[in-house]
Structure 1
Amino acid sequence: MNSFERMTNEQIARLALAIAATAEVLGQTITPDAAEMMADDLADYPADVISASLKSCRRELTGKLTLAAILQRIQSADGRPGKDEAWAIAVTTNDEYETVVLTDEIQLALAAAKPVLDAGDKIGARMAFISAYERFVAQSREDAKPVNWHVSVGFDAGRRIQAVTKAMELKRIPREHGQKYLADLSVEPVTEDGRAIAGLLTGNVTQPAPVLRKKLELVKNAMMEMRMASAERKTEMRIAAANELADRRALMIKQAQELEQRT
């Protein structure tokens, strides 16, 4: 479903004039009917994006102005990453500590490539991913759907802030959404227990409540256990970590399937 508001008849008429003028700059004459048909085909896209595309055509084209040339420039400016960048983003989701900002098409293609990736064939998984990604992107562009970036939150709080900040800088998520994420990740601890936890990092130690003190002791003991663990115990811990990653990836696959059912 198209997520943009379609142009009005008056806007389509003005666009037809702009198309005819662009063709004239390129030494070409287009009939009013042809210009209006092209304008109608483009009416599902934002006016500013179409205007930028026509400007690129005037600067770059050496041949005739065609609908395909205009659409190519509209679609290349929609903010969706190329297939290689998309694959690089997709494989980052293997790290459960990493926060990843990805598009709907990346998530859908990753779900399609998952069986091959799980089989250990990374080359085959990349080929399957790219094939699916290009198909999903083509469909989204045909439907004139705007790119939709969303955040898959990892366990590392520091990496979350870095990922969200970078996404804001690249204008992949709206600034107001990014600021809300950062605010949620940067809440100042206000309780004594919160200050006690913060003190473990800052060195400004305060006394936690007895219940929290017990929890901190358990954490300390777990860390000590990890240091002193046998090779067998370390293997068990790695298996548990791998299971957590599998659960996260399963959730992403489920979300991708629900997303595909809605499209």
Structure 2
Amino acid sequence: MNSCERMTPEQVAQLALAITATAEVLGQSLTADAAEMMADDLADYAVGAVAGALKACRRELNGKLTLAAILQRVQAADGRPGKDEAWAIAMTTNDEFETVVLTDEIQLALAAAKPVLDAGDKVGARMAFISAYERFVGQAREDAKPANWHVSVGFDANRRVEAIAKAVQMQRIPHEHGQKYLADMRVVPVTEDGRALAGLITGEATRPTPAVRERLQGVKASMLEMRAASAERKDEIRIEAANELADRRALLLRQVEELASGRASHG
């Protein structure tokens, strides 16, 4: 939920009762004022996330119920990956053929670590990335911002479908967003496996249309051209591919700048 979409007064009142009941289960007496104050502090988060956190507290806590204990569990359930998984996702962006589904915080942290990575110090880059990532995640959680997953599209059409299908399965992007991403893609999966994966998201698996077959023929012709091309033409093709990669990286940088300026305007 958005940080501006607070719980309604009725939901806050119900939450205060749930907090009081949870404290009693843990053998703690909590005043109505204290429960209401805690509920108000939690009102920027999703109702379901807070309810899940209270349930986890009842199961896991041995001592007193605290706001920090509830917040820790609310934030841990926001879907943001841990630092090691985030680093692995960030490194996948080095492969221009790979489609990557990443969060705003991964993208911002990768931009912060990029100068160290470009210098060839992968260990230092990982340390810089993790430090920045934990800082960005901590700020986002403090602001009660939900995880925002988005897609960085790679050149390989089949990997696009694979990545999006996995993101939908892991509930990182909604099913309808997965359908939209596939509909917006200009190159369809070029294998039966790719089309089958697309069918899992779109709900339909069909034979290629004449237009798609024509596009696939274009891909095959391009491959044949590369195979038969002179050394000079091969260099031209490689330059074109490098330019496409540069365009993709420029887009990622623009997105980072927009995210950074957005954070500054809300800071």
TM bucket (normalised to shorter chain) is 0.7 to 0.9
User: Aligned partners of 1:95 and 1:189: how far apart in 2?
Assistant: 30
What TM-score do the two structures reach when normalised by structure 1?
0.83
Residue 120 (structure 1) aligns with: 120
**Count of equivalent residues:** 243
Q: How does 1:5-154 map to 2 (within 5 A)?
A: 5-154=5-154
Deviation at 1:196, TM superposition (A): 4.1
Shift of 1:253: 1.7
CA–CA distance in structure 1, aligned partners of residues 120 and 63 of structure 2: 48
- Distance, in Å, in 2 between the alignment partners of 1:201 and 1:222 is 11
Q: Name the structure 2 match of 1:209.
A: none
Long gaps (5+) in structure 1 = 203-215
Task: Using the TM superposition, give the Cα deviation of residue 245 of structure 1 relative to its aligned residue in structure 2, in angstroms.
Answer: 3.3
- Contact (CA 8 Å) 2:100, 2:163: kept in 1 or not? yes
Structure 2: distance between partners of 1:243 and 1:76: 40
- CA RMSD between the two structures: 2.6
Structure-1 separation of matches of 2:219 and 2:255? 36
> Aligned residues: percent identity?
70
Q: In structure 2, how many angstroms separate the alpha carbons of the residues matched to 1:117 and 1:8? A: 46
| 8 Å contact kept, 1:189–1:198 | no
SS at match of 2:27: coil
Contact kept? 2:99, 2:153, Cα under 8 Å: yes
Question: Does 2:230 match 1:222?
Answer: no
- Paired with 2:255 and 2:218, the residues of 1 have a C-alpha distance of 37
Shift of 1:248: 2.3
Computing the radius of gyration from Cα coordinates, the structure with the larger value is: 1
What secondary structure does 2:210 align onto? coil
CA distance in 1, matches of 2:252, 2:217: 35
Deviation at 1:201, TM superposition (A): 8.6
Task: For 1:72 and 1:55, locate their aligned partners in 2 and report how far apart those are by CA, in whole Å.
Answer: 13
CA change 1:190–1:158 in 2 (3 A) is same
From the superposition, tell whether residues 201 and 242 of structure 1 become closer, same or farther in structure 2 (CA, over 3 Å).
closer
The residue that corresponds to 1:261 in the other structure is 261
Q: CA deviation at 1:17?
A: 1.1
Verify the 8 A CA contact 1:4 1:46 in the aligned structure 2.
no
Identify the match of residue 190 of structure 1 among 196, 210, 219.
Answer: 210
Query: What letter corresponds to residue 136 of structure 2 in structure 1?
Result: F
Tell me if structure 1 keeps the 8 A contact 2:25–2:58. yes
Structure-2-length-normalised TM-score: 0.82
Q: Call closer, same or farther: CA 1:178–1:10 in 2, change over 3 Å.
A: same
Matches for 1:230-249 after TM superposition, within 5 Å:
241=241, 244-249=244-249
Helix, strand or coil for the counterpart of 2:91?
Answer: helix
Conserved in 2, the CA contact under 8 Å of 1:4 and 1:146?
no
In the TM superposition, what is the alpha-carbon distance from 1:219 to its structure 2 partner? 5.8
